[in-house]
Amino acid sequence: MRPTKPGVVTVTLNAAIDQTLECPGFTTGAVNRVVAETRTPGGKGINVAAFLAGGTRPVTAAGFLGEDTVPLFEALFRERGIQDRCLRLPGSSRVNIKVVDRTNGAVTDLNLPGLRVPEEALDALLETLDALAEENGCFVLSGSVPAGVPANIYATLTERLRAKGALVAVDTSGEPLRHAVAAKPDFVKPNAHELGELVERPLRNPGEVARAARELHAGGIGLVVVSLGADGALFVSDDGAWRALPPPVEVASTVGAGDALVAGVLAARLDGHDLETCARRSTAFAAGKLAKVGPVPPAPERVAELVCAVRMHPLGSA
């Protein structure tokens, strides 16, 4: 899993502004007082780019942004040294609102609709990615698919980019994931629920999740990582299978934790590390991110501490 071209491109079709509202004792049907508010640029691919930026490889963000909400994204790209190849569309990128009630330990999500992508914009994106494939060896296709974009878009992009010699990672769900898996990307990262939908059966424990992950791998996907939230993640490849369990950590926000896992996996694998090291490092990176709001990577010293605390369990060959 080491492409000859060093650059990494993340593709975000449905970028978002993540708005977090701190609202103690939040109650529906009542007047609620917000004590703090945070807005950060997001969308799964944008988050992955932010986590990878500052490493040894150039990082480019591609996809679609609403013209009305561009400044927040452009500020992130400037701050992190991310090359901006996103296409601008009329309107606003979607807003994802999280109402956090720490008093009761509850989080309420309100996800607004996003942009509608016209056919000519999708054609322009394909041309942009073709050009980027000339100089970049790894593409991350992640997040939901907006209105106007066919559900098989990630499958189309996977086939197109792999034909150009690129390594392709996919992190999505539902029908877009089902189509993408048929195109056999190099790396997929569903969570347990998404994997259960994909294999069309409930996955009630880590053993059943591991069996389903092995099925995906046997079907031609080189690396399958299944996130289990606070219970860690499962990793399956030709190198074997592992479960990584993170230590307990302070949690400021879970938004982007899965994207941090994707970034950690890619960084470790592109550097040539074996599966066990990859699992340990990416799990530590994702755990470290939980203390941050927004796509802010944990400090290297904190990741090093957490690496030592991650518990690793081989899953055997069953």
User: Which residues are designated catalytic?
Assistant: 259
Closest listed residue to residue 76, CA positions, set 100, 99, 51, 96: 51
Residue 194's contacts (CB-CB under 8 Å, 6 or more residues apart) are 173, 174, 177
Do residues 170 and 195 lie in contact, with contact meaning Cβ atoms separated by under 8 Å? no
Tokens 């209105």 sit on residue: 147
Do residues 20 and 98 lie in contact, with contact meaning Cβ atoms separated by under 8 Å? yes
Tokens read off for 4: 């000859």
SS3 state at 243: strand
Torsion, Cα of 195, 197, 202, 207 (10° steps): -10
Q: In this structure, is the dihedral angle defined by the CA atoms of residues 98, 230, 55 and 181, taken in order, positive or negative?
A: negative
Residue 183: Cβ-neighbour burial (10 angstroms; 0-12, 13-18, 19+)? buried
- In whole angstroms, what separates CA 242 from the centre of its chain? 20
Residue 102's contacts (CB-CB under 8 Å, 6 or more residues apart) are 22, 24
Closest listed residue to residue 45, CA positions, set 63, 32, 58, 26: 63
User: What is the rounded distance in angstroms from the CA atom of residue 32 to the CA atom of residue 21?
Assistant: 11
Q: In this structure, is the dihedral angle defined by the CA atoms of residues 37, 84, 116 and 172, taken in order, positive or negative?
A: negative
Cα separation values, 258 from 228, 255, 289, Å: 10, 8, 10
Closest listed residue to residue 139, CA positions, set 60, 243, 224: 60
Q: Which helix (H) or strand (E) holds 181?
A: helix 174-182
